C-alpha cells in the first residue's frame, strides 16, 4: 500500500469483478423479468416496420421511383434533383441492389420519423427552460460520442437481435442533431418578435405554433437533414444485429474481403444519402423564401 505515489492506486481486482458481476447480473435479471413486457411494448413498432418494408418491396420499382420523384418535386421544385434521383435509383436497380435498398430505405424513413416525433418536442422543451437544457445536453453528448457498439450490448441483451433493436440503436445515434437544432432554432427567434407576440396577448402555445416553430423551421430542417445522414451512416452497424438491407452485404464483404461488393453497396448508401440530403436541404431552403428581398 506504501507505493501509491509510484503506481496508480487502482481498486483491487476482486472488487472490480464483483462490481461488474453485480451490474451484469442485475441487468440480466432485469431483462429476464421484464424483457417480454418490453418486447411486447415495441410490438406495434415491429408490425409497422414489417408492414412498411413489405409495402416497399411489393411496390413495383417504377412506382417507387415515381412516388419518390413526387416527394422530391414537392420539396424542391428542382428538375436537377428529380433527374439525379431517377438516375441513382435506376443504377441501384441495375446493379441488383434494389431489394436491399428498399429495406434500408424503409428503416431509415421509420427511424427519421421516430427521431422527429421525439426530437422536436424534446428540443422545444429544452428551448423553454435552461434547466432542461442543462440536463439534456450532456445526455446528447454521451449519445453522440459513446461508440455505437457499447449501447448495442444492452439493447441486444434486452430485445435480442432484429429490427426493433436496430431501430432503437439507429434512433439513439441519429436523434441528437434534430434535438440540438430545434433547441437552437427556437432560441434564435428574434426577441423583438417574441415581445410583439406577447404584446398582442398570445398564449405560450400560440406563440410556439404561430411564431417560434415557423421561424425556427429552417434550422429544424437542417437538424432533420443531419439526422437522416446519421441514420444512413448507422446502417452498417445496425446490420450487425440483424437489420437487413445494404449494411449486410457490406458486413459480408468485410469478413470475406469482397472489395467490389462492399464498394457497390457502399455507393448505394452514398446515393441514398445524397438523394435524401438534397431533397431535405432544398425543402429547408424553400421555407426561407420569405427572407429574400425583391430586386431593387
Residue recorded with cell 445494404: 246
CA 253-255-261 angle, to 5 degrees, is: 5
CB of 197 to other proteins, least distance (A): 8
Member of 18, 70, 198, 270 binding other proteins (CB under 8 A): 198
**Smallest gap, in angstroms, from Cβ of residue 172 to other proteins?**
33
For 204, counting Cβ atoms within 10 Å of its Cβ (0-12 exposed, 13-18 middle, 19+ buried), the class is exposed
Cell 458481476, residue?
21
201 binds other proteins (CB under 8 A): yes
Q: Which string of x and - marks every residue 156-195 that binds other proteins (by CB under 8 A)?
A: ----------------------------------x-xx-x
* 290 binds other proteins per the rule CB under 8 A: yes
Q: Does 202 bind other proteins (CB under 8 A)?
A: yes
Size of the site for other proteins (CB under 8 A): 23
Element (H, E) at 173: helix 163-187
* The only residue of 91, 140, 215, 251 in contact with other proteins, by rule CB under 8 A: 215
Instruction: Report how far residue 83's alpha carbon sits from residue 69's, in angstroms, rounded to the nearest whole number.
Output: 9
Does 206 engage in binding with other proteins (CB under 8 A)? Answer: yes
CB neighbours (10 Å) of residue 183? Answer: 28
Q: By CB under 8 A, name the one of 162, 214, 242, 266 that touches other proteins.
A: 214
Q: Closest CB to other proteins among 13 and 291?
A: 291
| Residue of 33, 145, 199, 260 interacting with other proteins (CB under 8 A) | 199
63 binds other proteins (CB under 8 A): no
Indicate the residue among 217 and 273 with the shorter CB distance to other proteins: 217
Q: Is 107 exposed, middle or buried (0-12, 13-18, 19+ CB in 10 A)?
A: buried
Q: How far is CA 289 from CA 130, 135, 179, 271, 282, in A?
A: 31, 35, 24, 27, 11
Q: Does 129 interact with other proteins (rule: CB under 8 A)?
A: no
Please give the span between the terminal C-alpha atoms of the chain, in angstroms, as a whole number: 81
User: Judged by CB under 8 A, which of 203, 256, 263, 270 binds other proteins?
Assistant: 203
Residue 262 and residue 255 in contact, taking contact as beta carbons nearer than 8 Å? no
Interaction of residue 13 with other proteins, rule CB under 8 A: no
Q: Which residues bind other proteins (CB under 8 A)?
A: 190, 192-193, 195-203, 206, 210-211, 214-215, 217, 290-294
Amino acid at each position: 500500500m506504501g507505493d501509491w505515489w509510484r503506481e496508480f492506486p487502482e481498486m483491487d481486482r476482486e472488487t472490480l469483478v464483483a462490481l461488474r458481476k453485480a451490474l451484469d447480473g442485475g441487468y440480466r435479471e432485469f431483462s429476464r423479468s421484464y424483457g417480454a413486457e418490453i418486447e411486447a411494448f415495441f410490438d406495434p413498432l415491429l408490425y409497422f416496420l414489417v408492414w412498411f418494408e413489405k409495402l416497399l418491396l411489393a411496390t413495383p420499382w417504377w412506382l417507387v421511383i415515381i412516388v419518390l420523384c413526387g416527394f422530391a418535386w414537392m420539396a424542391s421544385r428542382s428538375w436537377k434533383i428529380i433527374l439525379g434521383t431517377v438516375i441513382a435509383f435506376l443504377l441501384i436497380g441495375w446493379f441488383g441492389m434494389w431489394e436491399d435498398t428498399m429495406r434500408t430505405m424503409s428503416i431509415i424513413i421509420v427511424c427519421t420519423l421516430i427521431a422527429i416525433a421525439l426530437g422536436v418536442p424534446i428540443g422545444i422543451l429544452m428551448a423553454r427552460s435552461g434547466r432542461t437544457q442543462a440536463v439534456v445536453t450532456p445526455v446528447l453528448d454521451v449519445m453522440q460520442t459513446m461508440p455505437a457498439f457499447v449501447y448495442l450490448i444492452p439493447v441486444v441483451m434486452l430485445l435480442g437481435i432484429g429490427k426493433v433493436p436496430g431501430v432503437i440503436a439507429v434512433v439513439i445515434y441519429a436523434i441528437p442533431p434534430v434535438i440540438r437544432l430545434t433547441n437552437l432554432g427556437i432560441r434564435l427567434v428574434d426577441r423583438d418578435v417574441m415581445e410583439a407576440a406577447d404584446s398582442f396577448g398570445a398564449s405560450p402555445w400560440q406563440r410556439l405554433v404561430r411564431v417560434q416553430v415557423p421561424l425556427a423551421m429552417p434550422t429544424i430542417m437542417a437538424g432533420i437533414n443531419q439526422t437522416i445522414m446519421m441514420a444512413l451512416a448507422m446502417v452498417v452497424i445496425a446490420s450487425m444485429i440483424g437489420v437487413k438491407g445494404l449494411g449486410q452485404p457490406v458486413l459480408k464483404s468485410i469478413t470475406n474481403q469482397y472489395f467490389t461488393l462492399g464498394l457497390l453497396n457502399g455507393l448505394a448508401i452514398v446515393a441514398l444519402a445524397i438523394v435524401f440530403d438534397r431533397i431535405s436541404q432544398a425543402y429547408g431552403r424553400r421555407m426561407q423564401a420569405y427572407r429574400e428581398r425583391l430586386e431593387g
